Structure 1
Amino acid sequence: MTNNSSLEVPTNFTIAIAMESDWHIGSGTGRRGDIDRLVKRDRDGLPYLPAKTITGIWRDACELLVNGLDDSASNAYFSKLLDYLFGDQPALAKGAIAISPRESALSIRAAHFPETLSNALKNKPLLKEAIAFVKAGVKIDHETGCALEDHLRFEEVVRGGITLSADCQLQLPEDTQLQQLCFALLVASTKFFTKIGGKRRRGNGQCQVTIEGVTTDEWIKWLGDYLNSESLTLPIIPKVAIQSHQPKAGDRSEGKENSWQTIRLEITALSPIVIAKRTVGNVVETLDYIPGTHLLRMVRRQIVKYYPDFATSIDSAIAHNDLVITNATIAIEQTQSYPTPFILSTEKIGGGLLKGAKIYNRFVDDDSKATQLKAERGGYLTCAVNSDSLEYPNYQKVEITAETHNIVEDTVQRPTNKTGGVYTYEAIAAGTIFQAEVRLREHIANSIGQTQAHWQKILGGETAIGQSKKDDYGRVTVEVLDDKAEPNSSPKPEQDVTELTVWLISDMLLRDDRLRPTNNLDDLRKQLEAKLDIKLKLPEEKIGIARSHRIDSWQVRWQLPRPSLVGLGAGSCIRFEIIDGELDSAKLTAIERSGIGERRAEGYGQVRFNHPFLSESLSGLTYLKPSDENKPQADPPPNLIPFHRYARIIERAAWQKAIQQKVLARAKDYKTLLYIGIEKDKPTMSQLGALRSVLGQVQNFNDTDQAILWLANVLANKSRSGKWLSQSLGKIRLYLTEAHVIWEDLALNLEPITLTDTGEDELKQELWAEALYALIDACIRAHKRDIEKKQSQDSEQTQIAQEVN
């Protein structure tokens, strides 16, 4: 068996997709009365190839190769290897799945324009428009072969000639033969990856795919030698890992319960993130934060990866809630934010917290004389607390986007209800920055720290979070802000108080005396009494506002919903009266750090007690509009870049559009006709037609000899020259002998439509003949319309005169 050890399998690699023809990746939307189908664009406004599209087409290409290797046998070795590479397809399964679906070993990200070109186009909107053009189409009746009436449509199509790049990641076991075989299949299948996008069977989407830094022929030769080897032994495909991990209880150090070490994490969304909230029809809604549940697995994986001896300690900490990971909420001015308290209301006509409306705290403020109020729902805020007073909160909402996808059925090659059809993902927008806290008991953190100082840095790096994280969604980067930091907490009372206000900054999961999930406030009161060693009661009025929140999820293996998590929702505010005992600041701090209720390790049960924002009047706070002076100013993108083949394509298209718009505007002006030398019946239409025919044969500025000779012959012939105005032929000769004149007359604004450093000079030479012909042709057509209009008016007047007589 041939084994070329020099062929190394990369873990991370980039594929280059060279679009050899025009292409269309639809967004599923259009512009009413204009375009029926728009192309999908990224956040920079540029067309791109979604990862799901690339994955589906690449899988189809690999299936062609695998079908030949397995000799069309179903469930053969290479078919299983294909499922190992691209993952199982549970949507195609019939009935319940016996084992959990296999995850894909190959992760593919979206393919975007080259970074240099993308940056250069940021301040060039006209060039962005020139990337795509509108193409007309019709629907053909399959019986008659003719176009159907009322079926004309217009589709946006991206110009070909661009090479897009997509990052890929391959996670394979340490088996060298399996690694090489999997990678060889991927490399060889790129030969079948020749079309992508809509209408690819009708000329669109022709492409060529290569893996950067890899010689395709070399890997294909290796695959042929490997499979034709006499001593061929195919490597074993790993089975689906059955996750039966249950954290063990272990021992605890009760004396150190209130000592914590906090690690602050900043999470930046590199791509949209889908955190499934619920499914409504074919729309998957998303949460506007990252739950600690999604971060817990990442934190445990990183710690156990670098410090495997501490696996039992970490599992025990999770089981005992000695490791707490808070929800990652949007960062406002580099600070972790809190869910907006439900107890807040704003004047309805003021525009809410986002626009600085007057705030009312319904625990304290008298709102009886206020104008119509509106309860604040959604969004996050940070509460600045000075020693003297409160400041108006910084408020922000998370940007949510929506993308439509589909599942194509192989037999009919289009989405159908059988495979799920069309569906939409709501997602947190790319570029959103979150912050979260990892809290670990001090004795556990110190035991890890004895192995290596600054161990917290291992939690940073790039990872994937949420749903559909192997392709278009979930790519994030995690940064450890500092090694040690005190958790955010409420200022504690310095004197005796008679009330306890509770602000839930995450969902809280409680159980009643019968161990049933509950959102009853009496059950919360009982837990607080037990932890604080005091007696509480709910007041008769101004109890607060509490809402329940339900989180649903799906068991893919069983094809059934998981049990719902129902509890008190984040933002709930409850007021209790203290009837016996006194508040202990240390106990309040301990509860704020560890939380209340179940699943605290995942961020549930986070609270704030007696926060000034809920205990003081807010109606007098003044909104200060944020100043733009302190905002970091991004470096402006470069105006010009070195020559780029695709940049020249869109430059040329933008110039051609600008020329057409300019000459049409100029031709409407009668002064332009006089300037060129066209007036009334001079020159005659036959002479103008001859001029247009001659100029149509001019290809460039060096190809004007025949046109100049034609002008000379006209001047030499008195009968023909008499049909022209005296300045006409001289002006046209000036156009043909001085290249700059046409551009001076058109006076185009070239800066917005020029991208390359040599673009202006080269395109003026390339499009000189086109610009000259367009101007003369537009003027002749305008002159022709004026003549026909005058003839029509004269005919009407003659007819009226005859009727009068």
Structure 2
Amino acid sequence: MNRQDSKLTFPVSVTFTSDWGIGTGTGVVGGVDSRIERGDDGRIVVRATGLAGVIREQAQVVAEALDEGRSSGPWHRFVTKLFGTAEDPRLVAFSDAQADDATLGPHEVVSVSIDERTGAAKPDHLRIIERAPACKLTGSVTLLDTSMQGAAITWSDAQRDAALLVLSLAASLVPAIGSDRSNGDGACEIIVGEHADLEKFETWCRKALDHRPQPVPEAPKPSSKAIEAPRLSERAKTEQRQRAVLRIHLDSPVVSYAVPLSNEIPSEDFLRGTVLLPWVHGRLRQAAGQKSPDVQELVRDAVVNGDLYVSDALPVCEGVHGLPVPLVLTSEKGADEGATPRVWNRLIGVPSPERTHSPKRSGYVFPAAADDDTPIPLGAPPLVGRQATAHNPATGTAATGQLFLVRALPAGIDLEAEIILSERLARVFGAELPKVLSRPAQLGSRRLTGTFGRAHCGVDGVEPWTPADSRGWDEEGMTTLWFISDVLLRSPQLGAAGTLDDLITTLRNAGAGVERVDRCAVGDRYVAGLRHRRIDTWSAASHQPRATRVAIQAGSVIRVRPAPEANSGQVLEALRHLSCTGIGELQAQGFGRFLVGHPLLTRESFRSKKAEGFIPDSVADTRNEGEESHR
């Protein structure tokens, strides 16, 4: 039995008694050479990664002391599981510790490098660095109740008390944090838990040490029942589906997995359905735990039986949901960036051959509902770059060659994804879905560090799915398919496929009798715009990258017409029906989505403008100046 007061989140206070600083690795040209970390609201912070690092280092000392000098005793095993290994994710997560005083700012310190031989200052070695004054910062530490695979983690009272004891003793042993610790900077006192002062904290630690759990408990393990494998059973009926819009607000930078490049960890500028589907499905499974066995089986098998689909989460700009830029758009090369350059749709119009045009190959378009000549925003959300370095545990200094850069979607932006549910799944969760999914979440790569991955999700309600606004067949008897997510196809030989003929074959096999439009039928206009990209994702279960796939890139566009033997009305209805869940493989993860006859692609050209306003001004003005921003 667990006590009624068995909390899993505890406050962490860091009180610095001297100047201190944790550098960002960046400076200001002609001014400060090294700036210190600031949070999204401008406050001075100690990042969760740094806080976890110093406490983990001292936790190993605590474990060795409790094991009476043995290097592989029960406390050592408990601490190792608590902070995680390459095979087992950590069971504890820290948050950033922010300064209690929002008005507190850094001051500048001048330093020089001394010549070891002469004892004099070296020429051209004057540095101006930022340091923070003595102050108090507050954060938190949480014992995780859900694994990275969505399985429940249950903490007994003995396990909770053992974890709190280790964290408290380790925190009390941390002498300093930040740079220049050998010179006396960064001296601090860390308190874990709700204690009024250091004296009461030390008294509590002594009592907890005297009454520590005996025998030493094993670290909790994720419940095997929560991750029971799904089974193929009755497929969901496809006549009518329900939809819900999942709105995501990023409370911290979020890393959307991409293949690491040397010492850089890049990020996509959107969140894949591959990331969101496990979270949504896990929340539904937890909510179904108190329902009947039939409902539990329905939810367990929802993904494999076609009851649940989650699309990619794309950025929102000024309240308008973004769509991948169609790969048939071009604009005049060298156009005035301060004006509203005209963008041509090469499916419909042909610009003057006297002008050189460049294709639009990346970013998002944010089309409004109106068909007037109002400029349409084009662009992509900014990415922030944060530098970090690994430290040598023996010396406490930065390890040689361990500097790396992490790029991420910045805090403050909004994303939107679409959740598609079958009729039978919607009947179970229709009224409950906003309550089940409207909550904080940890998303993306590196989410357990505390510095990345914090977001808040919200769902307003469930409504019947209806096709997007479509113009149907045009006067030439054609329509446009605009793919708004990557498309994964397979050839008959089970290899990668991605040609125009492969797309047509897949559509035909799915019940839409269409054929491609020949180039000779449209003159100098385009009949398609296709590009390909590699798809890489990370498996949290096997702790390694999944196999690389080649996909048709989101934003690809093709023109199709009904096959001669097909009924045009039935073909159009089949295309609209397929647009709900997509075509190809991994549809449940958002792949293969497309729009039929979107009004934007019926226009010959339109005026554009640079997309801005991804981050509210109140957030953008206080964003960490040490973060490098890229578009």
What is the 5 A alignment of 1:112-511? 112-114=98-100, 117-118=101-102, 121=103, 128=105, 131-139=106-114, 141=116, 144=117, 146-147=119-120, 149-150=122-123, 152-171=125-144, 173-214=154-195, 215-227=200-212, 232-239=214-221, 245-254=228-237, 257-308=238-289, 309=293, 310-351=295-336, 356-369=340-353, 371-386=355-370, 392-416=375-399, 421-449=402-430, 453-470=431-448, 471-484=450-463, 486=465, 489-493=468-472, 498-511=477-490
The equivalent of 1:685 in structure 2 is none
Query: Shift in Å at residue 607 of structure 1?
Result: 0.5
Query: Shift in Å at residue 253 of structure 1?
Result: 4.3
Name the aligned partner's letter for residue 351 of structure 2.
D
The equivalent of 1:603 in structure 2 is 590
Query: Shift in Å at residue 297 of structure 1?
Result: 1.1
Query: What per-residue deviation string (whole Å, max 9, x for no partner) do you get for residues 159-201 of structure 1?
Result: 3222111132222623111111111221222211231001112
Relative distance call for 1:313 and 1:69 in structure 2 (3 A) is: same
The equivalent of 2:508 in structure 1 is 529
C-alpha RMSD of the superposition: 3.1
Relative distance call for 1:7 and 1:265 in structure 2 (3 A) is: closer
Q: Radius of gyration: which is bigger?
A: 1
**Does residue 1:567 correspond to 2:546, yes or no?**
no
Query: Shift in Å at residue 561 of structure 1?
Result: 4.2
Relative distance call for 1:340 and 1:139 in structure 2 (3 A) is: farther
Relative distance call for 1:288 and 1:54 in structure 2 (3 A) is: same
Structure 2: tracts of 5 or more residues without a match: 146-153, 521-525, 622-631
The question of whether the paired residues in 2 share the 8 Å contact of 1:332 and 1:396 is answered with no
The question of whether the paired residues in 1 share the 8 Å contact of 2:253 and 2:408 is answered with yes
Measure the CA separation in 1 of the matches of 2:201 and 2:4: 11
The equivalent of 1:48 in structure 2 is 45
SS at 1:319 equivalent: coil
The question of whether the paired residues in 2 share the 8 Å contact of 1:248 and 1:319 is answered with yes
The equivalent of 2:576 in structure 1 is 589
Match of 1:16 among 13, 28, 37: 13
Measure the CA separation in 1 of the matches of 2:223 and 2:389: 29
Query: Shift in Å at residue 474 of structure 1?
Result: 0.5
Name the aligned partner's letter for residue 235 of structure 1.
P
The question of whether the paired residues in 1 share the 8 Å contact of 2:339 and 2:609 is answered with no
* Greater RCO, CA 8 A, separation 6+: 2
What TM-score does the superposition give when structure 2 sets the normalisation length? 0.86
Higher helix fraction (1 or 2): 1
Name the aligned partner's letter for residue 111 of structure 1.
A
Name the aligned partner's letter for residue 396 of structure 2.
Q
The equivalent of 1:614 in structure 2 is 601
Measure the CA separation in 1 of the matches of 2:362 and 2:251: 24
SS at 2:577 equivalent: helix
The question of whether the paired residues in 1 share the 8 Å contact of 2:12 and 2:193 is answered with yes
Relative distance call for 1:495 and 1:395 in structure 2 (3 A) is: closer
The equivalent of 2:149 in structure 1 is none
The question of whether the paired residues in 2 share the 8 Å contact of 1:519 and 1:568 is answered with yes
Measure the CA separation in 2 of the matches of 1:363 and 1:247: 44
The question of whether the paired residues in 2 share the 8 Å contact of 1:250 and 1:313 is answered with no
Name the aligned partner's letter for residue 377 of structure 1.
R
Q: Number of residues paired by the alignment?
A: 593
The question of whether the paired residues in 2 share the 8 Å contact of 1:321 and 1:599 is answered with no
Name the aligned partner's letter for residue 411 of structure 1.
A
Relative distance call for 1:576 and 1:586 in structure 2 (3 A) is: closer
The equivalent of 1:27 in structure 2 is 24
Measure the CA separation in 1 of the matches of 2:502 and 2:611: 42
Query: Shift in Å at residue 439 of structure 1?
Result: 0.6
Relative distance call for 1:605 and 1:555 in structure 2 (3 A) is: closer
SS at 1:508 equivalent: coil
The question of whether the paired residues in 2 share the 8 Å contact of 1:249 and 1:315 is answered with no
Measure the CA separation in 1 of the matches of 2:131 and 2:279: 39
What is the 5 A alignment of 1:764-775? none
The question of whether the paired residues in 1 share the 8 Å contact of 2:376 and 2:609 is answered with no
The question of whether the paired residues in 2 share the 8 Å contact of 1:102 and 1:240 is answered with no
Relative distance call for 1:59 and 1:569 in structure 2 (3 A) is: same
The question of whether the paired residues in 1 share the 8 Å contact of 2:379 and 2:610 is answered with no
Relative distance call for 1:259 and 1:78 in structure 2 (3 A) is: same
The equivalent of 1:104 in structure 2 is 90
Measure the CA separation in 2 of the matches of 1:244 and 1:625: 45
Measure the CA separation in 2 of the matches of 1:627 and 1:77: 55
Measure the CA separation in 2 of the matches of 1:150 and 1:225: 57
The question of whether the paired residues in 2 share the 8 Å contact of 1:24 and 1:156 is answered with no
Measure the CA separation in 1 of the matches of 2:402 and 2:542: 21
Relative distance call for 1:577 and 1:79 in structure 2 (3 A) is: same
SS at 1:238 equivalent: coil
The equivalent of 2:535 in structure 1 is 551
Measure the CA separation in 2 of the matches of 1:490 and 1:391: 19
Query: Shift in Å at residue 241 of structure 1?
Result: 7.0
Relative distance call for 1:623 and 1:426 in structure 2 (3 A) is: closer
Identity level (%): 22
Query: Shift in Å at residue 603 of structure 1?
Result: 0.6
Relative distance call for 1:413 and 1:624 in structure 2 (3 A) is: closer
